């Protein structure tokens, strides 16, 4: 997927209202400076007289024609639009690529755009800078909206799919591979950090979030609640004779329209496919179940099979819900191993994986959660029991007649009391847990602050390069990044000074001087 970056220069934006000068004059000067920049920016691809411009018809145009058009532009809200087109692969003919994209944009807008562009080959990834005047050839204002960015990327991809399909597919595969490697690298990094915290005794190896979940909602309590919910769902499904709406009044909202059982099977299938392909437009689960139910009923009617779900009077003869499903020739059920269920869930998340019907997917999620909770059920009690047994064994060794240790008879008699013994054993176990935790502060506040600042800078830069960012948002992003850079410089100076102080203290101690802080 290519990248489209859009900005504009206007007399109304903040950068044009400086120095008490006329905003229109400042905006024109900024536009001319941008043209000069993209024409003469340093790089091996720059000709002695600067890079040549091109438009929808002409080649090797001089920048003077564009600067003249900007100066002669009548009063307009926007002086120029700045577009940067960076396709996923370098087109063989970048000029034809740009012309097709701009032609499609003009047709979409219903405007006769006036634009000029220049190629840049001074980076590892070649790109094209396009300057679009704020008014078209007929004097109509030009607006480029955020929704146009996706269209520009799509038109560029369509061009590359026609002329360089193999190279484009290889680039997409490479991008996916790098993304997988990045995710795996991040997982390994987190695991190494966790092991380091365990090694430094800053974290207990068994302190897992699932243990905390088990403490707040034990498996026995959770399973009982699930059984009650299942009973409630079955009761909700039972007919009451008056609660069901007529099929033309029982509707759902999806994809910006209203749907009911009155729609055809093909229409319902299309909206189902649309919901799968557009995750951001998900609908409530109950509405989706209705949609799936309508599809199944219509499929049953098409196949001339009786719809057994409507036979509510003869409840014992209703078809029993299957407790398993099949996927690619393999059978999965609640009795399948945890590893088998989770591997299927991971496989379903891969790009291009065959989809699973929604009912089967909900079953899979429920089985995984139930099995996972069962695996961790009672883990805290088991851990405490293991610690207690270990403590008892160590205590038995210490009180053994062979150990050179005096045992107070009164203490031995008190420990013989089951209540006192149980209390002391619990206190000893708690003491052992406390000993495991290193209460010293091993953190480096300055290093942590540096990491957080670098992370914030990286996140803000990711937001800055997003194609949908407006000009004002980009200006705020630049200001924020500049402030973060200043904070990083201050952090670096402070850490450097602290290292010097430590070295000076070490030298004084080596010389045998009495030094306290």
Same domain, 123 and 158: yes
* Separation of CA 178 from chain center: 16
Q: Which residues contact 327 (CB under 8 A, 6 or more apart)?
A: 344, 354, 356, 360
Q: What is the layout of strands, in order, in the sheet containing 127-133?
A: 3-10, 78-86, 127-133, 115-120
State pLDDT tens for residues 347-358. Answer: 888 877 888 888
- Domain-embedded: residue 190: no
Q: Which residues contact 94 (CB under 8 A, 6 or more apart)?
A: 119, 126, 128
Same domain, 47 and 101: yes
- Domain-embedded: residue 473: yes
| pLDDT at 287 (0 to 100) | 84
- Domain-embedded: residue 212: no
Half-sphere exposure of 111 (CA within 13 A, CB side): 19
- Domain-embedded: residue 425: yes
Query: What CATH number does residue 123 fall under?
Result: 3.30.930.30
163, 189, 205 - which closes a domain: 163
> Considering only CA atoms, which of 128, 147, 169, 123 is closest in space to residue 1?
169
Number of domains into which the chain is organized: 3
Same domain, 413 and 460: no
> Considering only CA atoms, which of 366, 368, 374, 371 is closest in space to residue 285?
366
| pLDDT at 492 (0 to 100) | 87
- List the beta bridge partners of residue 253: 258
Same domain, 385 and 500: no
Same domain, 413 and 392: yes
Q: Which residues of the chain have pLDDT under 70?
A: 1, 201-208, 231-249, 279, 304-322, 397-443, 512-517
Task: For residue 103, give its domain range.
Answer: 3-163
416, 436, 456 - which closes a domain: 436
- Domain-embedded: residue 193: no
Q: Give the tokens for residue 57.
A: 């018809």
How many residues are listed for the chain in this entry?
Answer: 517
| pLDDT at 53 (0 to 100) | 94
- Domain-embedded: residue 516: no
Helix (H) or strand (E) holding 128: strand 127-133
| pLDDT at 293 (0 to 100) | 86
Same domain, 407 and 454: no
| pLDDT at 242 (0 to 100) | 42
Same domain, 75 and 110: yes
Same domain, 46 and 158: yes
* Pair 4, 82: CB distance under 8 Å: no
> Considering only CA atoms, which of 70, 64, 75, 82 is closest in space to residue 24?
75
Backbone torsions φ then ψ of 319, nearest 5 degrees? -65, 130
Same domain, 41 and 104: yes
Same domain, 113 and 33: yes
- Domain-embedded: residue 144: yes
- Domain-embedded: residue 230: no
Whole-model pTM: value is 0.47
* Pair 300, 306: CB distance under 8 Å: yes
Same domain, 388 and 503: no
| pLDDT at 400 (0 to 100) | 60
State pLDDT tens for residues 388-404. Answer: 787 777 777 666 655 55
């Amino acid at each position: 997927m290519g990248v489209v970056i859009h900005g504009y220069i206007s007399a109304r934006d903040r950068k044009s209202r400086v120095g008490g000068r006329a905003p229109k004059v400042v905006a024109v000067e900024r536009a001319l400076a941008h043209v000069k920049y993209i024409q003469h920016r340093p790089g091996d691809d720059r000709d002695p007289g600067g890079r040549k411009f091109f438009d929808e018809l002409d080649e090797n145009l001089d920048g003077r024609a564009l600067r003249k058009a900007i100066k002669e532009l009548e009063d307009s809200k926007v002086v120029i639009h700045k577009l940067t087109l960076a396709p996923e692969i370098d087109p063989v003919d970048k000029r034809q690529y740009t012309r097709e994209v701009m032609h499609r944009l003009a047709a979409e807008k219903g405007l006769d755009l006036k634009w000029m562009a220049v190629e840049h080959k001074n980076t590892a990834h070649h790109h094209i800078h396009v300057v679009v005047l704020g008014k078209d050839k007929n004097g109509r204002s030009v607006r480029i909206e955020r929704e146009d960015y996706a269209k520009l990327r799509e038109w560029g991809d369509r061009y590359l799919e026609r002329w360089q399909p193999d190279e484009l597919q290889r680039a997409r595969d490479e991008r996916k591979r790098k993304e997988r490697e990045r995710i795996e690298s991040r997982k390994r990094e987190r695991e190494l950090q966790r092991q380091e915290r365990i090694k430094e005794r800053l974290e207990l190896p068994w302190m897992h979030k699932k243990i905390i979940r088990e403490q707040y909602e034990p498996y026995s309590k959770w399973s009982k609640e699930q059984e009650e919910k299942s009973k409630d769902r079955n009761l909700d499904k039972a007919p009451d004779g008056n609660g069901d709406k007529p099929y033309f009044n029982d509707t759902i909202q999806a994809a910006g329209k209203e749907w009911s059982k009155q729609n055809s099977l093909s229409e319902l299938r299309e909206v189902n496919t649309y919901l799968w392909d557009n995750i951001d437009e998900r609908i409530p689960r109950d509405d989706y179940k209705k949609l799936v139910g309508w599809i199944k009923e219509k499929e049953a009617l098409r196949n001339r099979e009786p719809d057994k779900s409507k036979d509510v009077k003869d409840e014992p003869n209703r078809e029993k819900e299957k407790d398993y499903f099949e996927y690619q020739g393999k059978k999965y059920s609640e009795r399948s191993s945890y590893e088998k269920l989770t591997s299927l869930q991971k496989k379903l998340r891969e790009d291009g994986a065959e989809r699973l019907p929604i009912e089967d997917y909900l079953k899979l999620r429920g089985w995984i959660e139930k099995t996972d909770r069962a695996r961790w059920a009672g883990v805290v009690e088991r851990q405490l029991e293991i610690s207690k047994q270990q403590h008892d064994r160590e205590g038995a060794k210490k009180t053994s007649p062979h150990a050179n240790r005096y045992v107070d008879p009164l203490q031995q008699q008190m420990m013989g009391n089951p209540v006192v013994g149980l209390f002391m054993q619990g206190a000893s176990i708690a003491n052992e847990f406390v000993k495991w935790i290193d209460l010293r502060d091993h953190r480096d506040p300055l290093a942590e602050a540096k990491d957080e600042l670098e992370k914030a800078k990286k996140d803000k830069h990711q937001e800055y390069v997003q194609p949908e960012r407006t000009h004002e948002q980009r200006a705020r992003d630049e200001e924020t990044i500049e402030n973060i850079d200043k904070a990083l410089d201050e952090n670096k100076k402070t850490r450097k000074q602290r290292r010097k102080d430590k070295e000076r203290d070490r030298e004084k101690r080596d010389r045998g001087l009495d030094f306290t802080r």
